[in-house]
A = this chain, B = another copy of it.
């Protein structure tokens, strides 16, 4: 029962203007028109056209977005109207969460819905207090004796919010042979909850491992005829990617559409979710206006024809990393960095000669503007664009927070370029590294560490010396999401790369190093992802060196990796599904709430 990851319930035609039936004036977000297809403009003589000797080319898909956004006015009066309305609705939901007389399961399901509908960030302290009440009054112990659904739901919510709860909570639902009770399967909702809870497992929690196997095997046997359309869609949605590995925006748009079909849907919650989603979307549109204005001014994409132009996909990725409205700087910074990474990766991967790549890596390490004199023309432009952008991010931090962060930003870029250079050397020398050698370098070349270092300085208000030292040493909070980034990326491109005889991929290295088949190697890589996720879950259970906002941002990088590479490489080769997702997250407001 394989369906699309994002089964939107609205007809989308790709060449239409973005607002099908224009929203009523009050709720209409600031209009941003995205024409979906454009060809890369060739009117400027690009550096690469004057090249004579043959250069490799990857024939990437051109950028599919038209940067000539209709730049609507920067001042969003419409937002103010919604803010007042949202405030009133928020107060009502807050009362419900803080209602101490509410029955615990009702409260837990309300919290789950609030989070799935993308509103969790508005009620963090309320949810924390409610879960405190639930635990301190023995609520959790109570449910573990009565309902698998309540146990699994509360286990997941508590772990998500850093409560130390034991996997033993599920032992009560096992028979004497230690297997999960067969009769549990009659309650699909409970099995779904068990499935979602199992992804909060830590290393060595065998009960949760067994729970996952038990739940998956049962969910896969179900059919729409047996459980009905609504539940079947939920099962499908979960099996495609568990909640814990989904980005909040994609989950919100799916959940809102699913939730609005429920007869018993909480109308206040639904109205707030739609309003909030559209309000945040207009913040993204304002952010994207600024980022695309910057990218058009930089003009690298039109000058370096051989390289991928993926600004919109990079911005969409940055939304996944930091979706909350207050993190515009983080989205802007991450989108800029990923746009540069995409182009510079192509210089190392496809276009540059080894000598040129050595020069470029040296220039980034020295971080001396005069280095442009030693570079070939196409690299001069790329280096100076990168140089100016990084110095400007450092300037903003110095101006707003009084800290000179330039050394940390430039080191992150030097490490990334050295990782790219290592891969280029393997490629040029046709050498095949062991899995450990390859992966020890590849999680850095994923650009995960670079993105998270830039995200750290954008998200964290008061920088701490100890945190920076650990960032520099690539603390687990940096390395683990980057491991997942690399593994997901490699999984998505393994078959095509192996078919092309390319060796730089986790799966092919695994095959070579362990002497096993592609299928077995793929499975091993998937297990590696699972184990890394468990290690990462540890950071959430309190005691992390880093403040929560940055921990969540780091975990979001892993989530965005799962989503981007789940169906092929949506960044390198954006397909229809990717474009639908970008539209639904950035430009298409959700149809208005109707009582």
Which chain A residues have a beta carbon within 8 Å of chain B's beta carbons? 44, 70-75, 297-299, 303, 367-370, 372-373, 377, 380-381, 384-385, 387-388, 391-392, 394-396, 398-400, 402, 404, 406
Contact = CB atoms under 8 A, between A and B. Distances in A.
Contact of A380 (B299, B400, B404): B404
Given A385-B395, A388-B391, A406 B369 contact: yes
B380 A398 contact: yes
B398 A369 contact: no
B384 A388 contact: no
Contact of A388 (B44, B373, B395): B395
Given A73-B72, A303-B399, A369 B391 contact: yes
16 contacts: A71-B73, A71-B74, A72-B73, A298-B395, A298-B399, A299-B399, A369-B369, A377-B402, A380-B398, A381-B399, A384-B394, A384-B395, A384-B398, A388-B391, A388-B392, A388-B395
A-side binding surface: helix, strand, loop or mixed? helix
B367 A369 contact: yes
A370 B411 CA distance: 13
A303 B44 CA distance: 39
A571 to B, nearest CB: 25
A372 B404 contact: yes
Contacts of A303: 399
A-B CB proximity, top 6 nearest: A71-B74, A384-B395, A388-B391, A388-B392, A299-B399, A73-B73
Given A71-B73, A71-B74, A404 B299 contact: no
A286 B385 CA distance: 24
Given A381-B399, A388-B388, A373 B404 contact: yes
Contacts of A396: 297
Contacts of A373: 404
A373 B395 CA distance: 13
Contacts of A72: 73
Contacts of A388: 388, 391-392, 395
Nearest to A384: B395
A111 B76 CA distance: 48
Contacts of A384: 391, 394-395, 398
Contacts of A381: 395, 398-399
A13 to B, nearest CB: 26
A75 B391 CA distance: 30
Contact of A75 (B71, B368, B372): B71
Contacts of A70: 75
A158 B525 CA distance: 82
Contacts of A399: 298-299, 303, 381
Contacts of A73: 71-73
A400 B299 CA distance: 9
Contacts of A367: 369-370
Contacts of A369: 367, 369, 391, 406
A372 B44 CA distance: 36
A117 to B, nearest CB: 34
Contacts of A400: 44
Contacts of A299: 399
A73 B30 CA distance: 13
Given A367-B369, A406-B369, A387 B377 contact: no
A159 to B, nearest CB: 40
Nearest to A68: B75
Given A70-B75, A72-B73, A368-B368, 7 more contacts: A71-B75, A367-B369, A367-B370, A381-B398, A384-B394, A387-B391, A388-B392
